[in-house]
Chains A and B, each alone.
Chain A
Amino acid sequence: MKYRIRLSPTVAFRAIQELNSVTRKHLPVQIRSIRGFFFFLLLFAFPFSIRFFWAFSLAPVPYLTPDEFIYPFAGKLYVQGLASGNLSVFKVNAEHPPLSKLITALFIFLLGPFGFSDIGALRVQGCFFSSLTCILAYLIGSRADRRVGMLSWVLLSLDPLSIRFAIASLDATSLFFASLSIYILLKAHPNSSKLYLLSGLILGLATLCKYSAFPVVLGAFALILLGDRTPIRPAAQKISLVAASSLAVLILGNPLFWPPQLIGFSGYSVFIEASSRYTIGPGGICVTPLDWLEPVLKAWNTPHALFYLSMFGLGSLTYPLPIFQSSYLPWLSLASLLQLARRKARLEGLRFKSLLWFSAGFLFFWLLAKSQAEPYYSVWLQPPLAIFSANSIIDIWRKVKR
């Protein structure tokens, strides 16, 4: 009797295990793929419905001016120009690359018959790509653990900053491609160059939506390779491959970088002229926070030096984006970092990589967004923060459970 009692749970467990394995094996592929489809549909629908509700019920129209007027107009103009062979249309809003605006034109074309205005279609585009980025957060987080993936998705889906600025279409669209590029980079086998090439091509698409994607992703990739202790030569080869392929896509996809003989004007000059308005400061000058030092050094024996020095000091030491005021993710990440430091726990794997990804974006915007920091640039920092926080929370939960 004793023997029976001891044995029966083991036997039952084995039987259930076998039954499970049999049913899993015999589950038709179609049903499994339908299950997967509905699962990803849910992963998309939840963040999309939150963003859609904010964009169409709560956000005032217009919310991001003048962007919400310029991008649909420019997108439609580009399509007309491409159709008629008139590439001079790309002189309009030349400071930003054209891909996201062309996608906006596509959304206007698709949603216009359903009663969506141009701004409405632009907002649907932003919500669509922002929700896809949440799915990518799940996929990247799942590389460590499925629970990490789910928590990353929950944190990013409910992040107030990502919801509020999902309607920043250029950033939301570019961030999706940039996150996809990082996902492929993390997935790539060290000896296979195909995935690096693919990642570079997708980074090119991200850069064709917004130029910020290029330094952020490439910086993150370089830091990840440094952190992984990849030897210099293969690391340089991989970075070059990603950079070259993305630059090729950028040049092919942006008519402003085509030869003047082909487009009939110097696109590069138009781009430089349009970009020069992104300068501010004394006499309309300032490129990075360090450039505030120029008036200090030039006016060293005048009272102006003190004034400029004060501007330089605060300008460099305070972060230009109010991330802690608008989201819980930076707080969670900072608490995780402090907890890590207190426990002196080893930082490795996806947690380390997501921290380096965050660092690349964080320092890039500190350095270059100083001249004209828009609060919606913060959306770039949220996916790595969500993954890092989720990873840390699951890690702590596991330790507590033990």
Chain B
Amino acid sequence: MEESETIVSAIALPALLLSVLAAARLMGISKRTASIFMTLNATIGLAIFSALTTIPQLSIQALNTLNPEKVVAITPLIFTFELLSGTYFASRILELDYLRFLKLTLAALSLTLAISVPLCLLVFFFYS
């Protein structure tokens, strides 16, 4: 396996973890609460969409047969749905403030993007 193959994961995953902790600290949320919330948020968001893929029109096979332009247009919608539903149900279950934790999720994701995309591009530039 070439070294460059795991670059995105090697950068993005620690960046996501650090971003969650940094955003939690800035917003005055405990690191434990933030970590548990983000775990449940991702689990519930993915699980709800996974349940929806049992509908034939939304099945993975149906989504895979769409052309790339349509998929690129649809994926932000799926992402928004997973994000909002995951945040809503995780905050309700953990008895947390929905809007505050939605802000935490958005802040952590934006921070991850801001850190990892330039870093990945820089690494690819030096590799190629």
Contacts and interface: CB of A to CB of B under 8 A. Distances in A.
Interface of A: 223, 226-227, 229, 272, 276, 279, 285-288, 290-291, 293-294, 297-298, 306-307, 309-310, 313-314, 317-319, 322-325, 330-331, 334, 337-338, 340-342, 344, 346-347, 355-356, 358-359, 362-363, 366
B114 interface: no
Given A226-B36, A291-B9, 16 more contacts: A272-B1, A288-B6, A291-B8, A297-B8, A297-B124, A306-B72, A309-B72, A313-B78, A314-B60, A330-B51, A334-B48, A340-B92, A341-B88, A344-B92, A356-B39, A362-B46
Contacts of B46: 317, 319, 362, 366
A337 B89 contact: yes
B8 A363 contact: no
B75 A310 contact: yes
State the main secondary structure of chain B at its contact with A: helix
Contacts of B74: 313
B51 A331 contact: yes
Given A223-B39, A313-B71, A318-B60, A285 B2 contact: yes
Interface string B30-52: 00100110011011101111110
Q: How large is the interface on B (under 10, 10 to 19, 20 to 34, 35 or more residues)?
A: 35 or more
B50 A291 contact: no
Question: Which 9 A-B pairs have CB atoms at the shortest separation, nearest pair first?
Answer: A313-B75, A310-B71, A341-B92, A310-B68, A319-B50, A359-B43, A288-B9, A285-B5, A341-B89
A341 B32 contact: no
B71 A314 contact: yes
Contacts, number: 135
B111 to A, nearest CB: 16
A363 B38 CA distance: 11
A313 B9 contact: no
Nearest to A313: B75
A362 B51 CA distance: 14
A326 to B, nearest CB: 10
A334 B51 contact: yes
B1 A279 contact: yes
Contacts of B92: 340-342, 344
Contacts of A324: 50-51, 53-54
State the main secondary structure of chain A at its contact with B: helix
Contacts of B1: 272, 276, 279, 285
B109 interface: no
A96 to B, nearest CB: 18
Contacts of B7: 291, 294
B124 A317 contact: no
B81 to A, nearest CB: 9
A398 B69 CA distance: 51
